[in-house]
């Protein structure tokens, strides 16, 4: 069984989630392989977490359980959900984080199915250290989502977690053609400072950003050192980069910014 984890927790807290899962699975002699997708998602940045999960999910086999927790609404009345999509199960808060990835694995016209993770003795008893311990209002990743994922790994189906719900969606939007070029949104900035756009294909015509020409390339090495460029990223979206530099710093841009790429 493969269980992935994606959070904005940093390096410390995910170990507690794994400990809860391992403790429950040991009772049933179940083997698990953990894969850490990322734990350095910018704090509370649901859109960045959703992009990272979307970019990774397709590379895992059917049956994988994907736990994703970027949860600025932890402790409120927001739901926790277990969601089925394309043969995988996604577990986390119902804030749109899971939807892009789950939807991407479904056939055209088929929507992911989501079920509320209802509190139960099985889940709450496997939370912060076992029976008799209260559930933290600030760490549902450990106390609710981890034990729920363990139950799913032991053969429970998402529909057994609780009532079916209509999950909250998250849409990266679409770039649009303008009279002057293309208007797009930066949906993610990676650790290299590359600006990933909600643009699925690099336009065929020459482009500039803020008056600076972007070299259209297949690989970064086709550009000179510190030369701005635009390319098709391995994640399937167009990205603006600076060869051996940071496009985010060069253009003073961040995730969520709307930009216009001008045709030249």
Neighbours of 169 (CB within 10 A): 11
Q: Percentage of the chain surpassing pLDDT 70?
A: 97
d(CA 34, CA 6): 11
Lowest mean pLDDT among 126-130, 139-143, 147-151: 126-130
How far CA 261 is from CA of 106, 205, 207, 236, in Å, comes to 32, 11, 6, 18
For residue 69, pLDDT beyond 50: yes
In which band, very low, low, confident or very high, does the pLDDT at 250 lie, cut at 50, 70 and 90?
A: very high
pLDDT given at position 28: 74
* Rg of the chain on CA atoms, in Å: 20
Q: What is the mean pLDDT of residues 97-113?
A: 96
pLDDT given at position 127: 46
- Model pLDDT for residues 85-101, shown as the tens digit of each residue: 999 999 999 999 999 99
Q: Please report the domains of the chain, with CATH numbers, ordered by start residue.
A: 2-165 (3.40.50.10790), 176-263 (2.40.30.90)
Residues 6+ apart with CB under 8 A from 246: 192, 193
Is the pTM higher than 0.85? The answer reads yes
- Model pLDDT for residues 164-222, shown as the tens digit of each residue: 999 999 989 999 999 999 999 999 999 999 999 999 999 999 999 999 999 999 999 99
Among 28, 10, 1, 32, residue whose Cα is nearest residue 19: 32
Q: Percentage of the chain surpassing pLDDT 90?
A: 89
* Pairing verdict, β 176-177 and 181-189: antiparallel
DSSP reduced 3-state for 156: coil
């Amino acid at each position: 069984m493969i269980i992935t984890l994606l959070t904005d927790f940093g390096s410390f807290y995910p170990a507690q989630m794994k400990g809860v899962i391992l403790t429950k699975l040991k009772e049933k002699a179940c083997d698990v392989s953990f894969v850490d997708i990322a734990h350095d998602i910018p704090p509370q940045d649901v859109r960045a977490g959703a992009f990272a999960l979307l970019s990774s999910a397709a590379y895992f086999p059917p049956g994988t359980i994907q736990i994703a927790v970027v949860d600025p609404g932890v402790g409120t009345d927001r739901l926790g959900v277990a969601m089925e999509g394309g043969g995988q199960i996604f577990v986390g808060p119902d804030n749109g984080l899971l939807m892009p990835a789950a939807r991407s694995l479904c056939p055209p016209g088929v929507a992911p199915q989501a079920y509320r993770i209802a509190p139960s003795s099985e889940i709450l008893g496997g939370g912060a250290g076992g029976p008799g311990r209260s559930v933290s209002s600030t760490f549902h990743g450990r106390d609710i989502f981890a034990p729920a994922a363990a139950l799913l790994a032991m053969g429970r189906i998402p529909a057994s977690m609780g009532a079916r719900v209509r999950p909250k969606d998250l849409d990266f939007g679409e770039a649009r053609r303008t009279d002057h070029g293309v208007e797009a949104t930066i949906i993610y900035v990676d650790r290299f400072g590359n600006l990933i756009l909600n643009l699925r294909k690099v336009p065929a015509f020459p482009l500039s950003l803020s008056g600076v020409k972007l070299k259209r390339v297949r690989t970064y090495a086709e550009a000179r050192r510190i030369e701005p460029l635009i390319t098709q990223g391995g994640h399937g979206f167009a990205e603006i980069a600076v060869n051996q530099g940071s496009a985010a710093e060069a253009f003073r841009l961040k995730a969520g910014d709307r930009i216009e790429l001008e045709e030249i």
